[in-house]
Every structure is written in structure tokens, then in C-alpha cells.
Amino acid sequence: MELAITNSLKMANGVEIPQLGLGVFLVKEEDELNMAVKSAIYDGYRHIDTAMIYNNEKFVGKAIKETEIPREELFITSKVWNYDHGYEETKAAFEATLKRLDTDYLDLYLIHWASPNYIETWQAMEELYEAGKIKAIGVSNFQIHHLEDLMAHTKIKPMINQIETHPEFPQNELHEFMEKHGILHEAWGPLGQGKHDLLSHPVLVKIGEKYNKTAAQIVLRWHVERGIVVIPKSVTPHRIKENSKIFDFSLSKEDMAEIATLNTGTRYAKDPDDEEFLKTSAIRPE
């Protein structure tokens, strides 16, 4: 087994989060997920990011147990879904997540989207945090106005905001706001989710040739240079290993400036201000 990937960033409360993690969004087949999680851990990853709505928390928990890595060496994130918002609902959802993951605590718990009643959800999370059941609490897919609203009505600021981020959508304004308020930036879909030809872009290919790295490694390093936590999703062992090989080189200011020219302002996933989605997804299925 290789040495653990030790690069980490410190959240406002002093808790350290590994800067590179494995995302498991859309991985619902048990054997595939089991292989991905084990491959990541054996390659040195110590950060796994899941969510209730991914329907794979149980599989993640089982794979982690089978690696026999001590729980305290791992960083596990999950998220409360939109139809579980509310004070009592969030408490119940959290306990259900712990049971599925077969763990006594979470390292990080996030509000998945800013759907109705997220203030009450956060208040429940504050209590769980203060009781020591969560090491850190944060949000996902929150815009500046959501963060401002949350901070105005609650005691504890979010420690992290997990948002769609990639070179075509660098989230510069939100990034600066979070830096100003001590909220760590975490990128989901860091490689653009494969929905376009980002990884064949001539700029990234050229920079990759300069460092003998792939375009994906260049993009992941770009995130690292910006002080962002990154959770690329893959179920392919050699890709998982490749994604970890980003801490043995640095990009120059000129490289970063070239990559900045890729910004098109293109969001490939849902808009966090899509009111219809936020309302309908908050309705519990029959």
C-alpha cells in the first residue's frame, strides 16, 4: 500500500480536510463502488464523499470497513437531501446516514441544496456539531445570497461550500466571497463531468506535455493551486490512481493565466437558483 495522500486544508474550526477525495455520485452498483472505494484507499486517498440521495452510503460504509483502515484515519462526508430539510427531519436523516455508513460520527455533513427550510436544517446540524457527532458542517450548491442569509440567521458559519467548479466555470466571484468569510471552497464536477471536450482542450494538452501530465491532472492541479478541495469521481482504478498524482509538481503563474482564458461561464449542472427544482425536490416521494 502506498503512503496516504497527506495534503490537507484547514477549515475555520481547525479541522483538516484532505485536499483530494473520491466522489461517488451516480455510482449505485455495489461491486463497482466497492472496487472504486478500495482502489482509492489503497492508493492513499483518505477522503470519501457521498450523500443520502446517491443511494450508496451503505456500500461505501461496507467497502471502508473491508479495507480495515482505522476510522479516525478517514474523512467521510455525506449530505442531507432536500426532502429531509427541517429541524427534526434533519436529525432523523443524519442518524439514518450514520446507520447506513456504519459509523458513529461524520467528518463533514453538508446541506445538499438551498431548498426550503434550510435554516432549520442548519440549526439541527449546529446541535449535532456541538454534540461532537459531526467534526465539521457546511453546505453545497449555495450562492452568495444563500450564504448571506444563512450567516444572518444562525450561530455558526458554514465551514465549506461544495460547488460545481471547473476551468470553464471557475466561480471566481463566489470563490472570493468565501475566501473573505473563511469558508473553504470544495469543487464537485472538477473535470467538467465529461459533458464536453474540456480534457482535449489545446491549452490543457500543451501544459500537460510540459509537465508530462494528463489534461485531467493539470485541471486537478489548477484546483489545488487555487486552494480548493477537489473530489473527482471515477470508478476506474487506473484513473483513481492517476488523479492522485497531482502533488509532485506546481503550475506557474503563466500556466494559471492560460487556464483562466478557458472561463466561459458555462454551468453544466443544475442552477442553485432554480426555484422549481428546489421546491419539487423538497417533496418527499410517496
Q: 161 and 188 in contact (C-beta within 8 Å)?
A: no
- Binding site for substrate, by residue number, is 112
**Residue 229, helix vs strand vs coil:** strand
Rounded-to-integer distance, Cα 225 and Cα 90, Å? 35
> Nearest-CA neighbor of 21 among 62, 77, 83, 99?
77
Q: Which residues pair with 18 in a beta bridge?
A: 8
Answer yes or no: 83 catalytic. no
Rounded-to-integer distance, Cα 139 and Cα 163, Å? 9
| Phi, psi for residue 214 in degrees, rounded to 5 | -80, 165
Which one of 54, 83, 118, 129 is the catalytic residue? Answer: 54
Alpha carbons within 13 A on the beta-carbon side of 92: 7
CA distance to 84, 127, 155, 162, per residue, from 121 (Å): 8, 10, 13, 17
Residue 217: burial class (beta carbons within 10 Å; 0-12, 13-18, 19+): buried
- Binding site, by residue number, is 112
The residues assigned a catalytic role are 54
